[in-house]
Chain A
Amino acid sequence: METLKAIAKKSPIWIAYLAALLGLPLVFDSILAISIFNQMAIGIVFALSYNMLLGQGGMLSFGHAVYFGLGGFLAVHTLILIEFETVYFSIIFIPVIGGVIGLLAAIFIGSFSTRKAGTVFAMISLGIGELIAASSLIFSDFFGGEAGISGDRTYGPTFFGVDFTQNDQIYYVAAIWVFIATLFMYLFTQTPAGRMANAVRDNPERAQFIGYSSRRIRFISFCASGLFAGIAGGLFALNYEFITEENLNAATSGRVLLMAYIGGLGYFIGPIIGAVVLTLMNSLLSNYTELWMLYLGIMFLLTVIYLPRGFAGFIMMHQVAWINNRIKSLGVPYLLIGLPSLVLLAGIIAMVEMSDHEGEAFYYFGFKLNPESFVTWAVVLVISLSAYAGVRAALPQLKQAWESANAVPDSEDPKS
């Protein structure tokens, strides 16, 4: 009953999640927004599937894009088969094809790669990733070489009259798939195999002495993870109608690691946050600056150093303050430190951008910055330094507020 109750208790969260997924395009309906939402949908499923490996199962993979990419390639091939009427079904089921292929690939590769966790597993995943990426350039009949392959999602039977010529129509298909995939990945964590994955992550040796083969447990998680990565690949194929070698190489594997890590590995919701944040940075930031990869790298570094449990971990840090009903007392200190922090951040970014603009003046938050002017540099520097002083000045107050908000009341036994 516990899980039923837990699900019933959590069902508002699931309903809100579904409502958010379905409602987003009603609020933001521009072409850019829909395109970003589609990328988020793909990223959420992919990052959650990655977290089944790393966060839940303790397997650090550098080649997770293999399952995403293979699923995506077969999905595009299936689109082509539908186009030529070799097979006949609605394209909304394409993610199933991706999932099956991801699962089959994971069964084959996992049969030997999950023998050990740790460095051995990581190195094998890297090797397999490189192998598949290199093969994809060699077997160009299937993978289409560097240009990749493309299909057309508008063939096949329409789904209740919807012909999927528009991106927003595909978004609703993706949203439903994201919801289903998220729900099943969550339910997996509540099963014996899912819970034993945590046990094997914590202590593979001891797991053997409660009757479980650590290897078999890793294998099951690995297969489930491949299945959902393949579904994400299928969604990618539906959205873009093409796929290339880039979608199964190390760069894509690295990106999904970033998403899961920045979001927070220890929490189910972490990878969802990571996928949303990284997709936004990827899509929006890249419109404004060529240096967005640099900022992304710095953000990753800062996350690893200062928020090792990711954004989700940062949110969960406030649990005690929430229970103590003192969350409000943090508002003013956060504001006092947040404003100068933003100014400091803007100042640093301004200086980085000025160094990158080769002497050409540019507009930044409505101000014209001229990298060749001493005055501009001096003003930006002074603003940044005063903002830094502001941050330093606000720090003690935040620290004090944090400590008092998190203090455990004396009258209460923390164990009860």
Chain B
Amino acid sequence: MSILTLNNISKSFGQTEIIRGVNLAIEDGEKHAIIGPNGAGKSTLFHLISGLHTVTGGSIKFKDQEIQNRPAFEINRLGLARSFQVTNIFHRMSVFENVRCALLWSKGFRYSFWHLLGRQGELNDASMHVLEEIGLSDRAQYPAGELAYAAQRALELGIAIASGADLIMLDEPVAGMNISEAQSAVELIRKVTSGKTLIMVEHDMNIVFDIADRISVLVYGEIIATDVPEKIRANPRVQEAYLGEVPNSA
């Protein structure tokens, strides 16, 4: 069963068409990677699904609800969470507060100004549990903005997964990391997304072929292929788009 369906999605900025009629169905529980050259529109596609941008045409269905052009916070409440390519955390707040805030809505606190956070034992335990999962429990009280880069990326991931969303979208989660950092990031992604649906944009093909069940290739705003990794590697159109570099690297 598809958890997310894109139906002929298009997006233009002025005269420039960035996304040109994308159709895609993501199965429940699948790990799906979107690859493609720079400027193909991968991040834009993420922004359209998660509600940061409005679509120019087409429809997006998440769990049988049409979500295109709905505000990001409503889409998030349905169980769709995402991370960002450029680290997007609450930099002046502590690491613990970052995660606790990410948990508030899903724990039912809504816009409450009558609950004292310190008294919410279950919420605070859950926040510490997320911190343990992403390996930051020892830096819980640090201002998030002062963490090292890899730790900030882990926190970025933690904020996305904290609420227990069913569909998690990660935009270049290991970009800018060295090899060992990237390796532990991959382990972490595997751990925190197990049993969930994952869509990720990633440039590192080793990681893509390692994690993904299926891969979609986006070139100039169009998906030219969606298939399992082996078939994507063998696809001549994909090889052409990547000038033959990519498929060997896995």
Q: How many A-B residue pairs have CB under 8 A?
A: 121
Is residue A326 within 8 Å, beta carbon to beta carbon, of the partner chain? no
Q: Which residues on B sit within 8 Å (CB–CB) of A201?
A: 92
Q: Which residues on B sit within 8 Å (CB–CB) of A212?
A: 73, 104-105, 111
Chain B interface bracket (under 10, 10 to 19, 20 to 34, 35 or more): 35 or more
Judge whether B116 and A211 touch: CB under 8 Å: no
Q: Which residues on A sit within 8 Å (CB–CB) of B115?
A: 191-192
- 15 residue pairs from A and B, CB less than 8 Å apart: A2-B119, A3-B119, A191-B115, A191-B116, A192-B111, A192-B112, A193-B113, A199-B90, A202-B91, A205-B52, A210-B76, A210-B104, A211-B104, A212-B111, A220-B111
Closest B residue to A58 by beta carbon equals B92
Is residue A116 within 8 Å, beta carbon to beta carbon, of the partner chain? no
Residue numbers of B with Cβ under 8 A of A are 50-52, 71-73, 76-77, 81-82, 84, 88-93, 97-98, 100-102, 104-106, 109-119, 121, 124, 138-139, 142, 159-160, 162-163
Chain A interface bracket (under 10, 10 to 19, 20 to 34, 35 or more): 35 or more
Is residue A288 within 8 Å, beta carbon to beta carbon, of the partner chain? no
Judge whether A192 and B138 touch: CB under 8 Å: no
Of the residues B73, B82, B91, B114, contact of A191 by C-beta under 8 Å: B114
Q: A4-B116, A191-B116, A217-B111 are in contact. List 13 more A-B contacts (CB 8 A).
A: A1-B118, A1-B121, A2-B118, A2-B124, A4-B118, A192-B109, A193-B113, A203-B90, A203-B91, A213-B73, A224-B113, A415-B138, A415-B139
Question: In whole angstroms, what is the CA distance A199 to B118 when docked?
Answer: 17
Judge whether B91 and A4 touch: CB under 8 Å: no
Is residue A316 within 8 Å, beta carbon to beta carbon, of the partner chain? no
* Distance of B234 from chain A, by nearest CB (Å): 36
Judge whether B110 and A208 touch: CB under 8 Å: no
Q: Which residues on B sit within 8 Å (CB–CB) of A216?
A: 111
Shortest 9 CB-CB distances between A and B: which pairs?
A3-B118, A211-B105, A2-B118, A208-B72, A193-B113, A202-B90, A192-B109, A3-B116, A210-B102
Closest A residue to B107 by beta carbon equals A192
Judge whether B118 and A188 touch: CB under 8 Å: no
Judge whether A190 and B89 touch: CB under 8 Å: no
Question: In whole angstroms, what is the CA distance A105 to B200 when docked?
Answer: 46
Question: In whole angstroms, what is the CA distance A220 to B109 when docked?
Answer: 14
Judge whether A209 and B50 touch: CB under 8 Å: yes
Q: A180-205 interface mask toward B, CB cutoff 8 Å, 1 = contact, 0 = none?
A: 00000001101111111011011101
Q: Which residues on B sit within 8 Å (CB–CB) of A3?
A: 116-119
* Distance of A13 from chain B, by nearest CB (Å): 16
Closest B residue to A416 by beta carbon equals B138
Judge whether B118 and A210 touch: CB under 8 Å: no
Q: Which residues on B sit within 8 Å (CB–CB) of A213?
A: 71, 73
Q: A202-B90, A202-B91, A210-B105 are in contact. Are A190 and B159 (CB under 8 A)?
A: no
Question: In whole angstroms, what is the CA distance A2 to B96 when docked?
Answer: 13
Judge whether B118 and A5 touch: CB under 8 Å: yes
Name which of A6, A192, A199 has the most chain B CB atoms within 10 A of its CB. Answer: A192
Closest B residue to A211 by beta carbon equals B105
Interface of chain A residues 1 through 41 with chain B (CB within 8 A):
1-7
Question: In whole angstroms, what is the CA distance A416 to B137 when docked?
Answer: 11
Q: Which residues on A sit within 8 Å (CB–CB) of B109?
A: 192
Question: In whole angstroms, what is the CA distance A6 to B110 when docked?
Answer: 23
Question: In whole angstroms, what is the CA distance A191 to B71 when docked?
Answer: 24
Is residue A206 within 8 Å, beta carbon to beta carbon, of the partner chain? yes
Closest A residue to B82 by beta carbon equals A209
Q: Which residues on B sit within 8 Å (CB–CB) of A220?
A: 111, 113
Q: Which residues on A sit within 8 Å (CB–CB) of B101?
A: 195-196, 199, 207, 210
Judge whether A209 and B76 touch: CB under 8 Å: yes
Question: In whole angstroms, what is the CA distance A206 to B162 when docked?
Answer: 14
Of the residues B73, B77, B116, contact of A187 by C-beta under 8 Å: B116
Q: Which residues on A sit within 8 Å (CB–CB) of B73?
A: 207-209, 211-213
Judge whether A210 and B163 touch: CB under 8 Å: yes
Question: In whole angstroms, what is the CA distance A396 to B142 when docked?
Answer: 31
Closest B residue to A201 by beta carbon equals B92
Q: Which residues on B sit within 8 Å (CB–CB) of A191?
A: 112-117
Q: A196-B104, A224-B113 are in contact. Are A206 and B90 (CB under 8 A)?
A: yes
* Distance of B57 from chain A, by nearest CB (Å): 23
Judge whether A193 and B139 touch: CB under 8 Å: no
Of the residues A4, A7, A188, A206, contact of B113 by C-beta under 8 Å: A188
Question: In whole angstroms, what is the CA distance A195 to B103 when docked?
Answer: 12
Question: In whole angstroms, what is the CA distance A209 to B112 when docked?
Answer: 18
Q: A2-B119, A4-B119, A198-B92 are in contact. Are A211 and B111 (CB under 8 A)?
A: no
